[in-house]
Structure 1
Amino acid sequence: MKLSIIIPTFNEEDYLPNLLESIKRQDFQDYEVIVADAGSTDKTREIAKEFGCKIVEGGLPAVGRNRGAEVAQGEYFLFLDSDVILTKDYLELCLNEFQERELGIAITQIAPLSDGFLNKITHDFANFFMRKVEKIKPHGAGCYGIVTTKKLHEEVEGFDEDLDFGEDTDYIERIGAISQFKVLRSPKLLVSTRRLQEEGLRNVAFKYVKSTFYQFRGKQVTAADLDYTFGHPNTKRIIYSVCGEGMGHAIRAKVILHHLTKKHEVHIFASDRAYTYLSQHFDNVYEIGGFNTVYEDNEVQNTKTFIKGMKDLPGDLKKSLRLMYSVAKAVKPQVIISDFEFYSNLLSKILRLPLISLDNMHVLTQAELDVPSEFRTERIAAEGVVRSFIQLPAVYLITSYFYPPLKNPEKSKYFPPVLREEIMNLKPYKGDHVLVYQTSDSNWKLLEILKKFDDEFIVYGFHQEGRDENLRFKKFNEDEFFQDLAQARAVITNGGFTLISEALYLGKPVLSVPVKKQFEQILNAIYLERLGYGEFHQDLEEEDIANFLSNLEKYRKNIDLTFKHDNNQAILEELDLLLDKYA
């Protein structure tokens, strides 16, 4: 193999096809194309596959270039950005001139893809500058189409992945110090003017003049030195990671992310159902592994949960952390926000980035809880899990409808439950039915008890449609579920935080039967009953339901008097302040 063409990518579906098509049209054919992709969420990978490219996990740009080089078979390397197009005979002209002049490292002159006098003058000046400066020292000014040899790449150990700007210039200078550098005269690359269009000529010119000045003084330039935020000076770069156990974390994250993505660059990591849900609503969503609880007959199976977790952990850990690290190296996040997601905690320690914890789980470890001793075993186990997931964040933002005293109010802060816009827009009223929602479809005993009442029950969670006496079964449909919740007299459910919070916001009393041994649900139910919002039962009998239904007015009054919500205002404002502080 003569030549390896290495292209780092991240969401380049609009540009990559043109580049690959221009490569395909070349007369020179002794090459391979390697696409080092940093977890694109668009069709970048599918496009690369269609063109027969070798695809590796990458990062932008140094990480991707190095990962591509690791698998490259060619004697020569050509590093290209995805938004360029090869001119006719580019590959042949490039290699011929490189070999004839006995070079070790070279870059290519450029021409604009877009028409216009200003674009042409700008690029002509860039070419003139590149040629003049090459006599002084090896440089990366312009820096399109880097050509070198596999041997020299390996000798200098590739691109420096610790640099967030100017990694190409650094690479060229290091190879230029042990070989000969030139700007190639014959081949030219057609380059996109998207950066000029997005940032403006003045901004781009200033940044590159400043970076070149720094580099010729021998000073390493960084993105911070250039205020390199691509025309959005208040934009923060954020990693937001979400636990995939259940749907509560994902539902809360969607609300927070809707706020953050309006202003900031956010890259989202999630597992299981959370990934499926969030990827339907946001760009830049990456799938990682996660830990899942094993349930049988409405009870947590601790041994099976542990065995499953240990079996999956080695593979998930390697794959997930590598993906997260690769994306982080590419986008240079300033802060990490975690909704009870394990790998983001590790990433924050590896990268030494501030970590903001935002979830409902940390009430277990950050508050002085008053819990009956019979739940001591479940409590100890749950606290251990919570402590292992998130360690030493900068701050704990805890969402809750109950507020036991905090152990460290300087580091922890309560907020009302984060609610979906769809819930807050509902107009609740007291209908005739009771909404029943179960996370397990094996609780047939409950159904037999409900049939003994004259009341109508709308039942979700059993994956069926139809009617059985006074029970109306429905498969889950979000819009229909919202209306059934808004019109319910009351709610019978497990101990899930999200549904309880939504029911209370709508003024609905709740009868909670938590999953056995699931302490977070047990805690939710204990405080639900203690606040007078409903009842907590470990097992349900007919008289328990009868008593609950006979006391609905009392529970409604308590909810009206003491349940408070601020339309998510406080937590969103707090997040904005924390981002200004830590990012």
Structure 2
Amino acid sequence: MKILYGVQGTGNGHITRARALSTAFARMPSVNVDFIFSGRQRDKYFDMEPFAQWRNYSGLTFIHKSGKIDPIATIKQNQFRQLFKDIKTLNLSDYDLVLTDFEPVSAWAAKRAKKPILGVGHQYAFHYDIPKQGANPATELIMKNFAPVNLGLGLHWHHFGHPILPPIADIPENDYDVEKSNILVYLGFEDPEKVMQTLAPIKSHEFIFYGEFDSPQTKGNIHLKPLSREGFKIDLAKANGVICNAGFELVSEALELGKKVLVKPLKGQMEQLSNAKALENLGIGKSMSTLNTETIERWLTEQPNVKILYPDVAKAIANWIVEGDWNEKTRHDLAVELWQQVESPDMNNFAHIEKLKKRL
């Protein structure tokens, strides 16, 4: 089976999922996967070795400034003429299947060529009735048409009674001792100076702050570190908690590692606002609408650590894809099978397996 896998490159979570699925597919000698990425300039990607001869397209992206979406800059930045050209010229004749993680070039090219296309990603969970914040007809339209698929495998921290799968949590294999005073900070959508001003008064903890810094620096109890996948994974494993924007993948990894979580959603971004709401509703994390020292201090002292163990979702998805029986029933069966393997502090309240079975 030859697969073209399109990955949205605007967030590192999409790429993390692709790495996990790439590893699963690599164990299958009958499968050959080519990767395309879009939404980011090629020189802005890092640690891309698992994807071999990957290709890059401009695609579509959202421009943010000071923690919120800038709609005017977003329209100006996106190259719609180039997008249509890339969709039209992408040759899919050699592929048996197109797989997309909310990547528009591969999705629309497959739709145009009438190729089978499956979606894997958090965004496909929003096709169901799940906790949402900031949703409106425009956001619903974007979710359904940004990267359309024949069948989507949505991922979330809970199935909410629908055939949604658990997260693909790509956590470190090595065991590290947790430093209870260490807090990992990754707020890529925020002004770094404002982040440091917010953290500086909190002397009780050490903050490991990852961002687009030229070199490591230490400013009191705030340790600045340049982006590095391996270094980030190690510091995540050692940290007692995580402060981040409300993206899906990092929070999933933090929950599996048993870290306390505090998110600051990107303003105007329905997905992140909804993630923050889901965390609060499920009681597995806290959120703040603005960077606030008092909120962080209260979270540090009051929020318990939550640990949720997920099965190998990437392996299960890869097996399901290779089996070739892609329909709503087998997707439902896959969802039930995976949620039955989830280990959480309170399975009766968290998984609702029987409720899920009745809905299928």
TM class, shorter-chain normalised? 0.7 to 0.9
Q: Are 2:184 and 1:435 equivalent residues in the alignment?
A: yes
Change (3 A) 1:512 1:566: same
Q: Give the conservation status (yes or no) of the 8 Å contact 1:451–1:471.
A: yes
Measured in 2, the distance between the counterparts of 1:278 and 1:426 equals 19
| 2:291 match | 540
| Letter in structure 2 aligned against 1:414 | I
Q: What's 1:349 paired with?
A: 111
Counterpart position of 2:143: 386
Partner of 2:223: 472
Q: Which residue pairs with 2:59 in the alignment?
A: 290
Query: Aligned-pair distance for 1:429?
Result: 4.0
Partner letter of residue 2 of structure 2? R
Secondary structure of 2:23's counterpart equals: helix
- Pick the aligned partner of 1:444 from 177, 193, 213: 193
Whether 2:129 is the aligned partner of 1:368: answer yes
Question: Structure 2: how far apart are the matches of 1:307 and 1:565?
Answer: 41
Residue 581 of structure 1 and its aligned partner are, at CA, apart by 5.3
> What's the counterpart of residue 358 of structure 1?
120
Distance in 2 (CA, whole Å) between partners of 1:573 and 1:402 is 22
Shift of 1:441: 5.5
Q: CA deviation at 1:340?
A: 0.6
2:312 equivalent to 1:567: yes
Secondary structure at 1:460 match in 2: strand
Tell me, which stretches of 5 or more residues in structure 1 are unaligned? 1-235, 407-412
CA apart distance, 1:289: 2.4
For 2:290 and 2:137, how far apart are their aligned partners in 1?
22
1:500 partnered with 2:251: yes
Task: Give the distance between the partners of 2:302 and 2:227, measured in 1 at CA.
Answer: 29
SS in 1 for 2:223: strand
Q: CA deviation at 1:278?
A: 7.7
TM superposition shift of 1:386: 1.5
Return the alpha-carbon distance in structure 1 between the equivalents of residues 299 and 155 of structure 2: 27
Deviation of 1:404 after TM superposition, in Å, equals: 2.5
Asked if the contact 2:131/2:277 (under 8 Å) is kept, the reply is no
Aligned partner of 2:8: which letter?
Answer: C
**Correspondences of 1:521-560 after superposition (within 5 Å):** 521-552=272-303, 555-556=304-305, 559-560=306-307
Counterparts of residues 109-508 of structure 1 (less than 5 Å):
236-261=1-26, 262-263=28-29, 264-273=31-40, 276-277=45-46, 280-309=49-78, 312-322=79-89, 324-325=90-91, 328-329=92-93, 331=94, 333-364=95-126, 366-371=127-132, 375-376=134-135, 379-391=136-148, 393-406=149-162, 413-420=163-170, 423-431=171-179, 432-440=181-189, 442-454=191-203, 455-463=205-213, 464-508=215-259
AA aligned to 1:573 is N
Kindly provide the CA deviation profile for residues 432-456 of structure 1, in whole angstroms up to 9, marking residues without a partner as x.
2111111036143332221111221
CA–CA separation in structure 2 for the residues paired with 1:565 and 1:403: 13
Is contact 1:440-1:462 (8 Å) kept?
A: no
Structure 2 residue ranges without an equivalent (≥5): 328-360
Quick one: percent identity of the two aligned structures? 25
* Secondary structure in structure 1 of the residue aligned to 2:123: coil
Q: 1:545 to 1:269 in 2, by over 3 A?
A: same
Given the superposition, is the C-alpha separation of residues 339 and 500 from structure 1 closer, same or farther in structure 2, using an over 3 Å criterion?
same
Contact 1:241 1:338 in 2 (8 A): yes
TM-score in terms of structure 1 length: 0.51
Deviations 1:459-483 (A, max 9, x none): 1115152111221111122222112
Change (3 A) 1:269 1:462: closer
Cα distance change on mapping 1:255 and 1:537 into 2, 3 Å: same
Cα RMSD over matched residues? 2.3
Following superposition, which runs of at least 4 residues in structure 1 exceed 6 angstroms of deviation?
Answer: none
Contact 1:298-1:443 at 8 Å conserved across structures:
no
- 2:274 maps to 1:517: no
Matched position secondary structure for 1:435: strand
Distance 1:581 1:538, change over 3 A: closer
- Can you list the C-alpha shifts for 1:254-295, whole angstroms capped at 9, x where unaligned? 211222244312222222559645853234422222111111
TM-score by length of 2: 0.81
Partner of 1:222: none
- How far off its partner does 1:512 sit? 0.3
Q: In the comparison of the two structures, how many residue pairs are matched? A: 319
Separation of aligned partners in 2, 1:380 and 1:424 = 39
Post-superposition CA distance 1:6-25 (Å, at most 9, x none): xxxxxxxxxxxxxxxxxxxx
In the alignment, what sits opposite 2:342?
none
Q: Equivalents in 2 of 1:246, 1:274: separation in Å?
A: 12
The 8 Å contact of residues 288 and 320 in structure 1, kept in 2 or not, is answered as: no
Tell me which amino acid in the other structure corresponds to 2:198. Answer: I
